[in-house]
Amino acid sequence: MIECKNLVKTYKNGDVETTALKGVSFKIEKGEFVSIIGPSGSGKSTLMHILGALDSPTSGEYFLDGREVSKLNDDELSEMRKNKIGFVFQAFNLLPRATVLRNVMLPLLFTSTSPKEREARAREALKYAGMDENKFYNLSNQLSGGQMQRVAIARALINEPAIILADEPTGNLDTKTSHVVMEAFQELHKKGHTIILITHEPEIAAYAERVISVRDGVIEKDEKNKQSL
């Protein structure tokens, strides 16, 4: 499903060049649950932006579902983000005065999907993400952190993306709630979803079946996690 070949990313600030990725190569198969872990400055955030079609590599190739993403123009990248990638962020990015249902329906508002179908798909996604039905009409600012992240997961699922890309999804949560959210990701994985999780926390990375460790712009380790939580 995903193949990265010798990805290099260099940032320029005047005469100063900083290379964040130094020839990164790996594959991710359909249905895998992969954690990409590394400390601050390791290059994992740069890699996340490339995998999410939010940025392009300076050199190298990135393929998603057989298409070379690194060669797409801005409109094609936008279309790929909309149809192929479901994003879950650390900050939830929910509308605080909108209901849970409306937040999940947002990605469908500018499509030809009818209002009735939008609501039906949002309800299905919320149930799939483990959200209590009695919370569907709550405003998002009335929810706990764990509930808000479940809403964000449901929103990421609404377009049935090829991959779910989660960027530090437990960063704003306490330890207990973090584990509840990670168990939700594990359930999605068991149902066949491809999940890529970006984190700096080893105990969160341990929920994945495979862990890619990044440091100083290169892959330090890429190994199966035989003791996933």
User: How far is residue 92's CA from residue 97's CA, in Å, rounded to a whole number?
Assistant: 14
User: How far is residue 56's CA from residue 77's CA, in Å, rounded to a whole number?
Assistant: 10
Name the maximum alpha-carbon separation found in the chain.
57
Q: What is the pLDDT of residue 112?
A: 83
Q: What is the pLDDT of residue 11?
A: 93
Candidates 52, 56, 54, 53; CA nearest to 10 is 56
The model's pTM is 0.87
Q: What is the pLDDT of residue 215?
A: 95
Q: What is the pLDDT of residue 227?
A: 62
Contact 126, 63 (CB under 8 A): no
Domain layout of the chain by residue ranges: 29-56+86-224
User: How far is residue 39's CA from residue 220's CA, in Å, rounded to a whole number?
Assistant: 12
- Strand, coil or helix: 77: helix
Contact 24, 61 (CB under 8 A): no
User: How far is residue 226's CA from residue 125's CA, in Å, rounded to a whole number?
Assistant: 30
| 184 DSSP 8-state letter | H
Architecture per CATH, 29-56+86-224: 3-Layer(aba) Sandwich (3.40)
Each residue's pLDDT, cut to its tens digit, for the chain (229 residues) gives 899 999 999 999 888 999 999 999 999 999 999 999 999 889 999 999 999 999 999 999 999 988 999 888 888 888 888 888 999 988 888 999 999 999 999 988 878 889 999 999 999 999 988 888 999 999 999 999 889 998 999 999 898 888 999 999 888 888 888 988 898 899 889 988 999 999 999 999 999 999 999 999 999 999 998 765 5
The β-bridge relationship of strands 163-167 and 85-89 is parallel
Q: What is the pLDDT of residue 229?
A: 56
